[in-house]
Amino acid sequence: MEAVQFLMNGFGVAMQWHNLLFAFFGVLIGTAVGVLPGIGPMSGVALLIPITATLTSGLDPQSAAASSIILLAGVYYGAMYGGSTTSILLNTPGESSSVVTALDGYQMARQGRAGAALSISAIGSFVAGIVSLLGLTLLARPLSELALSFGPAEYFSLMLLGLCAVSGLAGGSITKALIMTVAGLLLATIGMDSISGVSRFTYDNAYLYSGLEFLTVAVGLFALGEVFRTILDRDKEDGSIAKVGRILPTRQDMKESTAPIVRGSLLGFFIGVLPGAGATLASFFSYIAEKKLSKQPEKFGRGAIAGVAAPESANNGASGGAMIPLLTMGIPGSGTTAILMGALIMYNVQPGPLLFEDNPEVAWGLIASMFIGNVMLLALNMPLVKVFAKVIETPAKYLLPIIIAISIFGVYAVQFNTFDLALLLICGLLGYFLSKNDYPVAPLVLALVLGPMIENNMRRALTASNGDFSIFITSPVSLIFLVIGALWISIPLLMKMRGRSVIINEEG
């Protein structure tokens, strides 16, 4: 098998001692990020980009990119493990993909089975992580070869599909989500136009020539916006933390949760591959599916272990699945993967079909490191779960100002100017007001990352067709993408008109 050979080379990269260290710190910080209610995976990853950029500054560009993406991805899937801890012990999810875990997990904790719930979610996450990585390993080559056959018109439509999918599921109002997407695309046009070399909307401001820095905007909108929200809305911290108790699940627990874990992993993986549908949706769907399949549906909501095992497997499976469109096609399907993509672009590594040919070290090193990271997470989460339970008690008093200070340090360390710091604070304010009023910020960041690529592909396609816009419909592949994109926007709209409630993806 060709893929196995590549994967082995990847392990060669991932097993280098500094990359092992990076993966370890990634998953460790990720677990903490998942546990802390103030920061989610998106702000966690955004905050760490500047820090990894400094840590890897001594390495050559290829291995620097590989090492930092190993750490950042570790934060991403590590947060999926950590998120369950607060759901179970405190009934407050650390991040949105663990919301359903709280339904049965907290009930189990009240019955004194918190340890079993925690360990089963760690086991479920581990199985799902491995399942989704196997899928990623097998699908990576064929998918990237397929994507290589796409021309600019197909790419344009595919990226449009990605944006539609994220906007369609991003919030309560599709109008608002679309406004945020278009605003993100417009912001992406600021700076030097890469095709003609003309500067646009720069007004002789030297900082604007290179465009708005993606990192600054992302850290401001997510991390600072979240901190400002916590300060303003006075998050109440009531509720006592349940005792962890016996950690190992009983044989009965294992028997009851084996099938849900397998189903949750597969479901999560396939939902994760779809753009726009991230970990939150995956956990919701798998919970609903388990309740339907169960012989005793009345036990759900009262401490059924299947109600913990399935969604926790699903959200980790989805985070693995979400790497597929990112790595093979260069289309991030969610806010967090958009930030990962931005990080790769910062290192001049372009995610997409060519990634596996041009930067095999980065692509396969990352995949191999995710295998290692998942093993580390299992090892960390089973015995150390009591330690992480303590992290919950970190007082907000110290946490919030330090997050602001880290944001400012991070942006300054990479950009070296106060213009970006001012932009950071403005984005923080915007992030707070926009998300408070139900304007999702994830589509904006996604659009900011994809904007230049969408524009370049559109103009290359139009140049080839002499300005004839019908090229996007005459190519069958492109037409299919556009139709799916349109459906993605219109179906939730139709369902809402009929009064059906639509599950939205808050993780973005």
Partner 1 sequence: MNKTFDRYASIIFLVIGIFFVVESRKIGASSYGSNVGPDIFPIGLGVLLILLSIKLFIETIKMKSETGKGAKPDYKRFLIIFAAAVLYVALLEPLGYVITTFLFLVIGFQVLEKGGWVKTILIAFAFSFGIYYVFVNVLQGSLPGFPI
Nearer to partner 1, 26 or 264 (CB): 26
Nearer to partner 1, 231 or 477 (CB): 231
Minimum Å gap between C-beta 348 and partner 1 is 20
- DSSP H or E stretch at residue 8: helix 2-14
- For residue 172, give Cα distances in angstroms to 231, 295, 481, 496, 504: 24, 34, 24, 10, 7
Q: Which two tokens stand for residue 132?
A: 């989704």
Question: Are the beta carbons of 152 and 494 closer than 8 angstroms?
Answer: no
Binding residues for partner 1, rule: CB under 8 A, are: 54-55, 57, 172-173, 175-176, 178-179, 182-183, 185-186, 189, 193, 195-196, 198, 200-201, 228, 231-234, 395-398, 400-402, 404-405, 408-409, 412-413, 416, 418, 421-422, 424-425, 429, 433, 437-439, 455, 458-459, 462-463, 466-467
Nearer to partner 1, 9 or 202 (CB): 202
Best CA proximity match to 433, nearest among 123, 127, 221, 184: 221
- Please name the residues in contact with 247: beta carbons below 8 A apart, sequence gap of 6 or more: 115, 116, 118, 119, 382, 383, 385
- Please name the residues in contact with 51: beta carbons below 8 A apart, sequence gap of 6 or more: 410, 413
Nearer to partner 1, 169 or 227 (CB): 227
Q: Residue 351, Cα to own-chain centre: how many angstroms?
A: 15
Question: Are the beta carbons of 155 and 471 closer than 8 angstroms?
Answer: no
Q: Which two tokens stand for residue 78?
A: 């590590």
Minimum Å gap between C-beta 438 and partner 1 is 6
Minimum Å gap between C-beta 457 and partner 1 is 11
Nearer to partner 1, 220 or 311 (CB): 220
Question: Are the beta carbons of 212 and 422 closer than 8 angstroms?
Answer: no
Minimum Å gap between C-beta 494 and partner 1 is 17
Minimum Å gap between C-beta 182 and partner 1 is 5
Minimum Å gap between C-beta 456 and partner 1 is 9
Burial class (CB in 10 A: 0-12, 13-18, 19+), 134: middle
Nearer to partner 1, 15 or 408 (CB): 408
Nearer to partner 1, 79 or 411 (CB): 411
Minimum Å gap between C-beta 332 and partner 1 is 20
Question: Are the beta carbons of 243 and 385 closer than 8 angstroms?
Answer: no
Minimum Å gap between C-beta 449 and partner 1 is 16
Nearer to partner 1, 11 or 409 (CB): 409
- For residue 266, give Cα distances in angstroms to 270, 286, 352: 6, 10, 24
Phi, psi torsion values for 169, nearest 5 degrees: -110, 5
Chain length of the chain: 508
Minimum Å gap between C-beta 234 and partner 1 is 5
The C-alpha atoms of residue 101 and residue 308 are separated, in whole angstroms, by: 5
Judged by DSSP in three states, 45 sits in helix
Q: What is the DSSP string of 452-501?
A: HHHHHHHHHHHHHTTT-TTHHHHSHHHHHHHHHHHHHHHHHHHHHHTT--
Nearer to partner 1, 17 or 203 (CB): 203
Minimum Å gap between C-beta 441 and partner 1 is 13
Best CA proximity match to 45, nearest among 261, 332, 338, 267: 338
Nearer to partner 1, 139 or 429 (CB): 429
Nearer to partner 1, 145 or 438 (CB): 438
Minimum Å gap between C-beta 434 and partner 1 is 8
